[in-house]
Amino acid sequence: CGLLNTQVPCLEPNLRNVTAIMYSVQSFAHYPPQTIHVAIVCAGYNASRDVVTLVKSVLFHRRNPLHFHFITDSIAQQILSSLFQSWMVPAVRVDFYDADELKSEVSWIPNKHYSGIYGLMKLVLTKTLPSNLHRVIVLDTDITFATDIAELWAVFHKFKGKKQVLGLVENQSDWYLGNLWKNHRPWPALGRGFNTGVILLLLDRLRKLKWEQMWRLTAERELMSMLSTSLADQDIFNAVIKQNPFLVHQLQCFWNVQLSDHTRSEKCYKDVSDLKVIHWNSPKKLRVKNKHVEFFRNLYLTFLEYDGNLLRRELFGCPSEADHNSENLQKTLSELDEDDPCYEFRRERFTVHRTHLYFLHYEYELSADNTDVTLVAQLSMDRLQMLEAICKHWEGPISLALYLSDAEAQQFLRYAQGSEVLMSRGNVGYHIVYKEGQFYPVNLLRNVAMRQVKTPYMFLSDIDFLPMYGLYDYLRKSVVQLDMTNTKKALVVPAFETLRYRLSYPKSKAELLSQLDMGTLFTFRYHVWTKGHAPTNFAKWRTATTPYRVQWEADFEPYVMVKRDSPEYDRRFVGFGWNKVAHIMELDAQEYEFVVLPNAYMIHMPHAPSFDITKFRSNKQYRVCLKTLKEEFQQNMSRRFGFAALKYMTVENNS
């Protein structure tokens, strides 16, 4: 394993593994590695999350180029296409096929399986996949590989004659024997039947045998008495095989060690080195009963929490097809001066972070009145406790970018699934941006969250602020009152702060002013950075009853509501400092009018200082580089906006 990547530990080091790798490295010098094709049906948010663990386990062991063929609904395609584009794994190609176009092919089959209509789509792969694709490995999303998938691909050479077209492992439960409970009547099968979680398909031969016609006639005949399938495509595959046993090349059972409640899978392996593929083929998944389940669970968790960035390694002796984006990125990085003391800052701007959109289920329907607004924020693991409070204060849609490691993403998943507040909300989009590099990419995170906003307007906030109760409705009304549709406005929500961890949150402006006078609340950063919010004009806000316009001033960084198509944040600013200031400057340069809302407010809640603000305060080079980046940004603004941007060059900014 060390030959492939010194950062990746072997799961089960032994002499056989090392010998196989040495042989494969030597053989690459003579034969270009063959591309292995893998087909997976994947639909919805949960399956999109689960399939990543399968992909990691395949990438971990592989020594060949891979071509994934995903049959997906629109949700899974959006999530997985974004994930693979940002993952940038060499020698991996991904194609998508629209499952919605295939529904009519199988929707006539009544199916009781929890996978629903998508559980039947493996039946139509001969029709769906390209006609020039001759063979493919088909996998369920709940599979984990414990070996190189090339070993399974090599089994195609063991198919005998021209009629063996399906490689399958025998079913490892008594399901098809029909003796699990009284009146249990399964579909017809050959002996114990076969499990379809792992299939080797010889597509060209299947097409010649008129597979489409074969399975349809069988399904129609059996449904006259069975009425519906219980195990989706597996029932129909088995009914066809019962009539045509010559179709099957039986795979050794370690190629699909099935972990259902009634499994007899322990007969498939004597020790760890025998394991090849583990299949969590029960609705209970990791909670299934099996005497070795603890070992299997640990193997699965290894890949679940494994840092996917380590899988970006190149393959030995295997030049990958030139990727235009990757080439451009390498060219850009090569042009940076590594001796520049601000090199790490500059490099961060071009880092491609692996991104998993909609990590949890998301439901949102656009309102008819076209005034809807989404709260946008970003966070890391140490701010997770703010989520429930924000959900209680803001009932509208929310778009959040979370900066997490693979292991932290699983901690977040457990936290969210254990929270009644979070689970009761379908209109919160959680987008994971995986950790990489030494800086917190604050503006990249904001941009990721902004790009997933579905509403016409967005409220650009921070995770440590609690919006006032009713702010969502107030902002929607302001859209109409201030004619946001036809004007270029940024609506300012005045920001306050408390130093108390337990605050009686003010339910009205009058109550807030009272707390302000008592010293329970302060205007935001009043003690340390007055310039950031001074233009809001808090003295005027105290008595204002109508919205009022304010002018941009140096270092102004208010929290604003803007249209969805507003400018993104500048990625050169990472960690602490100038990230919001630059964005507000950009809005001003594009002639946005800043309008303060008289009855809106938000309150910053206290927390420990972030790692980045600590670095900013203690590291002189950090402050020097931030000043350099700020000056370059201002020069860039003057080039883009000409004379109008002169004021950004002449004011003295000391952030």
C-alpha to C-alpha distance for 491 and 559, rounded to whole angstroms: 8
Given a cut of 50, is residue 26 above it in pLDDT?
no
Range 624-639 average pLDDT: 86
Q: How confident is the model at residue 277 (pLDDT cuts 50, 70, 90)?
A: very high
Of residues 27 and 427, more confidently modeled = 427
Question: What does the pLDDT read at residue 609?
Answer: 60
Both tokens of 110, joined, read 């009544």
Q: How confident is the model at residue 321 (pLDDT cuts 50, 70, 90)?
A: low
Looking only at the bridges linking them, the beta strands covering 428-434 and 355-356 are antiparallel
Mean pLDDT, the chain, integer: 87
Of residues 251 and 292, more confidently modeled = 251
Question: What does the pLDDT read at residue 323?
Answer: 57
Domain boundaries, the chain: 36-309, 355-647
Selection from 521, 517, 527 nearest residue 504 by Cα? 521
Of residues 263 and 25, more confidently modeled = 263
Q: Are 372 and 366 within 8 A, CB to CB? A: yes
Of residues 331 and 467, more confidently modeled = 467
Residues with Cβ within 8 Å of residue 20, at least 6 apart in sequence:
148
Question: What does the pLDDT read at residue 80?
Answer: 98
Both tokens of 514, joined, read 């009272």
Lowest mean pLDDT among 60-64, 179-183, 412-416: 179-183
Which 3 state secondary structure label does DSSP give 575? Answer: coil
Q: Are 465 and 559 within 8 A, CB to CB? A: yes
Q: pLDDT tens digits for 540-578? A: 999 999 999 999 998 899 999 999 999 999 988 888 777
Bridge partners (DSSP) of residue 148 are: none
Bridge partners (DSSP) of residue 111 are: 229
Question: What does the pLDDT read at residue 161?
Answer: 83
Of residues 476 and 184, more confidently modeled = 476
Lowest mean pLDDT among 11-15, 105-109, 154-158, 437-441: 11-15
Range 258-265 average pLDDT: 74
Question: What does the pLDDT read at residue 338?
Answer: 75
Strand ranges inside 27-141, DSSP E: 36-42, 66-72, 92-98, 135-139
Question: What does the pLDDT read at residue 607?
Answer: 63
Q: Which CATH architecture has domain 355-647?
A: Alpha-Beta Complex (3.90)
Where b means 16+ CB within 10 Å and e means fewer, 572-610 reads bbbbbbbbbbbbbbbbbbeebbbbbbbbbbbbbbeeeeb
Angle between helix 620-641 and 611-618 (nearest 10): 100
The pTM for the full model equals: 0.89
Q: pLDDT tens digits for 334-356? A: 667 677 778 788 888 888 999 99
Question: What does the pLDDT read at residue 655?
Answer: 40
Range 464-489 average pLDDT: 96
C-alpha to C-alpha distance for 52 and 41, rounded to whole angstroms: 13
Range 585-596 average pLDDT: 95
Strand ranges inside 15-77, DSSP E: 36-42, 66-72
Question: What does the pLDDT read at residue 43?
Answer: 95
Q: By CB neighbour count within 10 A (0-12 exposed, 13-18 middle, 19+ buried), where does 312 fall?
A: middle
pLDDT above 70 coverage of the chain, percent: 86
Question: What does the pLDDT read at residue 616?
Answer: 59
Question: What does the pLDDT read at residue 7?
Answer: 38
Q: pLDDT tens digits for 106-119? A: 999 988 887 889 99
Lowest mean pLDDT among 44-53, 69-78, 391-400, 576-585: 576-585
Residues with Cβ within 8 Å of residue 187, at least 6 apart in sequence:
176, 222, 226, 229, 230, 231, 235, 236, 238, 239
Question: What does the pLDDT read at residue 594?
Answer: 98
Given a cut of 50, is residue 123 above it in pLDDT?
yes
CATH classification of 36-309, choosing from 3.30.70.3270, 3.90.550.10, 1.20.120.1200, 3.40.30.10? 3.90.550.10
Matching fold, domains 36-309 and 355-647: yes
How far the first Cα of the chain sits from its last, in Å, is: 49
Range 610-620 average pLDDT: 65
Question: What does the pLDDT read at residue 320?
Answer: 56
Q: By CB neighbour count within 10 A (0-12 exposed, 13-18 middle, 19+ buried), where does 44 fall?
A: middle
DSSP character at residue 229: B
Q: Are 447 and 586 within 8 A, CB to CB? A: no
